[in-house]
Every structure is written in C-alpha cells, then in structure tokens.
C-alpha cells in the first residue's frame, strides 16, 4: 500500500469517482487484511494516505499496524502521530536517513528528524521505530548511512540519550574521541556552504 499514485487512474478511475479515493483505498486494505488474517498475518501499512483521508482510519482492522513517516526536520510531528495514537491502532514512527541523489546524507536534518520523531512517538505510546533509508539515484554509498542508522537504533531504545558521538566512534567505528563523528560533523557543515 505504498506509493499509490495510480489509484484513481485508468481502470480504477470510475470506482474512485464513484465512491471516493479513501473508500477505495480502505476497501483494498480490508480485502488484503482478509487474505492475510486467514494466514495469521497482520497487515502493516504506511500512514500517508490515511492522513490525507482520516475518515477511513476508524474503518481499519484493530490489529492493523500503521507506520507513520516523515523525513523532515520539524518542530513537531504531532500531525503525523496524533491521528494514529487516538485511533487506538498500534503504530510505529518512521523517521529516515535520506541520501538520495547525494554523496552524503544531510545529517543536520536526519538527526533532528530522528530525535524529535522518536521522542514524540515514545511520548504518544508508539510501539516502535521503523527507520527507513533512502539511497535512490545510484550515487550514494550505504556506508555513509551508518551514523544515522545507529543513531536511530539508540534513539529507538532511549529517546533521551546523550553523548552518542563518543559511543559511535568507539563501539561502531573502533576509533577514539572525535574520530569519524567529528569528520561527519565537518562534512555536514560544508554541505551548508
């Protein structure tokens, strides 16, 4: 149920025009849920379409697991969390390390995104964190994403942790203080030029 850009076009246009985009999406989810529940599998879906059509959230199966996502540096993620926290459905927050069409991630945005989204998710009783990593475009090396991946892992367990850089350098990279994390900080500041 990701990237549903074609819903309402071609073969589905008539149905969407008749009953509405949200209702067609919900019907599809319920059909998938019926197939999966017969096999004792829970449905897990992204929350973006649900945020566009919040009236369908109440029609979801109670055991549906929602992943609400955003990759920006925002002052508040309440708009991405509150509808799902109020629905009583289990939900995960899904921050991201975005490195598409870049040589190196924008860690200023990544760190703020992960920090705020996981903290607010924790405060709103999210069941977990599902980090996404975007390396589209072919120019990115996944090795450059490890800083964000490990930062998210730590924040998933402890949203208020401090001194991450020292632990990252020592435990993940096997080097001394201000090793790799210092270089990442310098690279990030150069990106702002």
Give the tens place of pLDDT for each residue, 66-113.
999 999 999 999 999 999 999 989 999 999 999 888 778 899 999 999
- Position 138 scores a pLDDT of 67
Are 64 and 45 a contacting pair, CB within 8 Å?
A: yes
pLDDT, one tens digit per residue, over 36-68 is 999 999 999 999 999 999 999 999 999 999 999
Q: Which value, in Å, is the radius of gyration of the alpha carbons in the chain? A: 19
- Position 191 scores a pLDDT of 73
What is the mean pLDDT of the segment spanning 129-149? Answer: 87
Which residue did the predictor score with more confidence, 131 or 171? 131
Confidence of residue 5 (pLDDT cuts 50, 70, 90): confident
């Amino acid at each position: 149920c990701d990237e549903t850009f074609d819903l309402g076009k071609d073969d589905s246009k008539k149905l969407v025009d008749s009953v509405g985009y949200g209702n067609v999406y919900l019907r599809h989810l319920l059909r998938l849920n019926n197939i999966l529940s017969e096999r004792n599998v829970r449905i897990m879906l992204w929350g973006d379409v649900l945020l566009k059509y919040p009236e369908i959230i109440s029609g979801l199966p109670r055991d549906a697991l929602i992943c609400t996502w955003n990759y920006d540096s925002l002052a508040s993620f309440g708009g991405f969390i509150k509808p799902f926290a109020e629905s009583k459905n289990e939900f995960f927050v899904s921050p991201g390390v975005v490195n598409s069409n870049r040589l190196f991630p924008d860690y200023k945005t990544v760190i703020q995104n992960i920090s705020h989204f996981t903290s607010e998710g924790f405060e709103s009783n999210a069941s977990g964190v599902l980090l996404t990593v975007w390396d589209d475009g072919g120019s990115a090396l996944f090795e450059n994403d490890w800083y964000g991946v490990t930062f998210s892992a730590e924040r998933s367990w402890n949203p208020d942790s401090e001194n991450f850089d020292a632990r990252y350098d020592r435990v993940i990279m096997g080097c001394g203080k201000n090793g790799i994390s210092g270089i990442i900080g310098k690279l990030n500041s150069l990106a702002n030029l």
